[in-house]
Amino acid sequence: MKRLKSTALALAMAAVTFGAQAADTPAKPHSKAMGDILAESKPTDWRPLDPENTLYFELPAGRVVMELAPAYAPLHAENIKTLVREKYFDGLVILRSHDNYVVQWGDPSDDELDKSNPPKSQGSAKSKLAPEFTVPISAATTFTKLPDFDGYAPEVGFSNGFPVGRNPKTKQTWLTHCYGAVGVGRGNELDSGNGSSLYVVIGNAPRHLDRNIAVVGRVVQGMEFLSAMPRGPAPMGFYENPEQRVRINSIRLAADVPAAERSNLEILRTDTPTFAAVTDARRNRHDDWYIAPAGYIELCNAIIPVREVKK
Amino acid sequence: MKRLKSTALALAMAAVTFGAQAADTPAKPHSKAMGDILAESKPTDWRPLDPENTLYFELPAGRVVMELAPAYAPLHAENIKTLVREKYFDGLVILRSHDNYVVQWGDPSDDELDKSNPPKSQGSAKSKLAPEFTVPISAATTFTKLPDFDGYAPEVGFSNGFPVGRNPKTKQTWLTHCYGAVGVGRGNELDSGNGSSLYVVIGNAPRHLDRNIAVVGRVVQGMEFLSAMPRGPAPMGFYENPEQRVRINSIRLAADVPAAERSNLEILRTDTPTFAAVTDARRNRHDDWYIAPAGYIELCNAIIPVREVKK
């Protein structure tokens, strides 16, 4: 009686996993499930992470791997890399964990959360940056359109492994606030975000933030070390008591980490037929558990598969 | 320099809070922010939770308050109440926490996760239930349409405080898988879910589950006690090691709890002009932080305000 209840639900749900878990129930003959599609993918369907644009966010609980998309926020990506190379984030803290929203980190003293200490020096990083909330479409690397309707952008799709929106009329494109998106905190002044305080989306996609703040990349592994962080007790998830704040061991650029200590990950190229097939398998689920395929996929429900490769 | 960076971001983000937090930045004269709208609401804009349809899910970390919507799954709601009244869940466990997806609980022995013990008796609860993945529109209490496009349903909106989809052609309606939705785990057989294993959505809305499984209600307070639970290390977030599983203290119907121990909560009525104003304030943000209002709101990004009232 219902012995496989949660297991079957879990299997039916497997394709929603954030990241690379590809387990799925057997596909019916007329279609393929995501796991089968990935199992049959070609080596050229995947690309490695670029060590020059990959950050290792080392927390006491484990490593969070973030990929930067410099084409979408070149000044911000560069400034973050400067901060990282000068070890700015080492010893700083998680400032807040706001349920169904974001986890944000930085220097409490830079944020008026803690006035007892002077802010940490930001070294040679710039203190202000021109806003990069959108960029010209011509600056983007690739664009593979998702045919499904989106309410937040005239067009949505994928660009080199990132979910993006774009507006052909204004000729602008931008990274979207899907689960795992990494953004740059800013004040009311549009140039006030410089990468010294970053956030990651941990809830239902807050797409209304799109085009209002600079998104610089996304988490590709270790998301659970951020998303399962206890929510802060103060309004908006802030940790008022310094003892509640998780300390950041370090943030490093993968290129600066010895090869043996790197996370060797590959991303499924989003301009391949394999990725289109994965997305379609999620648009219309064919396994035995589903009785009503959605016939639609919302941008942030698409999965951009990540896999670990042997060194 | 950027002193208010994360604070300002936080304020701009406040309206996205799951639940009742209503802090917001000052509104420009031509519009109102959510906090102001709620501050000006009338007592009749709110309704209390019905103790006969409110569950207190008592975890070691705190109380999760769930509201059942029996109009949308009458057999399932009734069976869950039978299980609860016979204390079925007391001492059972969280089975899994799957990042960006669901937290699910129940009896590991009923799920073949633990074959060393016999399943716990389900008392007088029914072991199978006819599927209630959708119900006739005529069975729903109210429907306030959201004018914004939705890709997963011909129409979406709110019914007595729950986000719903509906199809005028088939004359069916259903509760949607927004953040905090409470659903009934099932196996491949459509009648195999009986409420003895439940899940809550903790990630980006998995709307493709809509119409494939019975949703019975939603979490209205204490969501963070579920969403911040450490993710299970096994595939799909399962806790394979019994020691990793959080034990459920109890689940009780509010009506069975002494009045002094109840959580006195009120829900903003979703068929009021106040709720329409709140939703519009979130569709087009007017505070000084935003430069590009979305002009759109996705169903699961709407907030259904909850407030605590003095006893």
Chain B nearest-CA residue for A197? B6
pLDDT digits (tens, 9 = 90+) for A133-158: 999 999 988 999 999 999 999 999 99
Residues in chain A closer than 8 A to B186 (CB atoms): 2, 5, 8-9
Q: Is B213 on the interface with A (CB under 8 A)?
A: yes
Chain A nearest-CA residue for B151? A296
In this complex, the residue of A7, A187, A196 whose CB is nearest that of residue B4 is A187
Measured between alpha carbons, how far is B283 from A90 in angstroms, rounded to an integer? 38
From chain A residues 16-35, the ones with a CB under 8 A of any chain B CB are: 16-18, 21, 23
pLDDT digits (tens, 9 = 90+) for A276-301: 999 999 999 878 899 999 999 999 99
DSSP H helical ranges for A16-135: 34-39, 74-85
Measured between alpha carbons, how far is B201 from A100 in angstroms, rounded to an integer? 11
Measured between alpha carbons, how far is B22 from B266 in angstroms, rounded to an integer? 14
Global ipTM: 0.92
Residues in chain B closer than 8 A to A129 (CB atoms): none
CB atoms within 10 A of CB A285: 24
pLDDT exceeds cutoff 80 at A4: no
Q: Is B14 on the interface with A (CB under 8 A)?
A: yes
pLDDT digits (tens, 9 = 90+) for B15-45: 333 333 333 333 344 478 889 999 999 999 9
Q: Would you state the pLDDT for residue A28?
A: 43
Q: Which band of pLDDT confidence, cut at 50, 70 and 90, is reported for residue A199?
A: very high
Q: Flag if A102 and B211 touch (Cβ within 8 Å).
A: no
Q: Flag if A204 and B300 touch (Cβ within 8 Å).
A: yes
Residues in chain A closer than 8 A to B133 (CB atoms): 291-292
The mean pLDDT of B76-105, rounded to a whole number, is: 98
Residues in chain A closer than 8 A to B148 (CB atoms): 151
Q: What is the 3-state secondary structure (H, E, C) of A233-274?
A: CCHHHECCCHHHCCECCEEEEHHHCCHHHCCCEEEECCCCHH
Q: How far is B141 from chain A (nearest CA, A)?
A: 24
The mean pLDDT of A294-309, rounded to a whole number, is: 97
Chain A nearest-CA residue for B294? A208
- CA distances A4 to B110, B187, B192, B231, B257, Å, are 8, 6, 9, 21, 33
pLDDT digits (tens, 9 = 90+) for B118-174: 999 999 999 999 999 999 999 988 999 999 999 999 999 999 999 999 999 999 999
pTM reported for the whole predicted model: 0.92
Q: Which DSSP letter does residue B169 get?
A: T
3-state DSSP assignment of residue B138? helix
Residues in chain A closer than 8 A to B230 (CB atoms): 224, 228
Residues in chain B closer than 8 A to A120 (CB atoms): none
Q: Would you state the pLDDT for residue B140?
A: 85
- Taking the domains of chain A in order of start, what are their residue ranges? 5-47+271-308, 50-262
Residues in chain A closer than 8 A to B128 (CB atoms): 1-2
Q: Flag if B6 and A106 touch (Cβ within 8 Å).
A: yes
Q: Which DSSP letter does residue B16 get?
A: G
Q: Is A166 on the interface with B (CB under 8 A)?
A: no
Q: Is A84 on the interface with B (CB under 8 A)?
A: no
User: Could you tell me what percent of chain A has a pLDDT over 90?
Assistant: 83
- Token pair listed for A71: 């084409």
pLDDT digits (tens, 9 = 90+) for A20-77: 333 333 334 447 888 999 999 999 999 999 999 999 999 999 999 999 999 999 999 9
Q: Flag if A204 and B207 touch (Cβ within 8 Å).
A: no
Looking at the domain that runs over B50-262, which CATH code has it been given?
2.40.100.10
Q: Which band of pLDDT confidence, cut at 50, 70 and 90, is reported for residue B71?
A: very high
Q: How far is B186 from chain A (nearest CA, A)?
A: 5
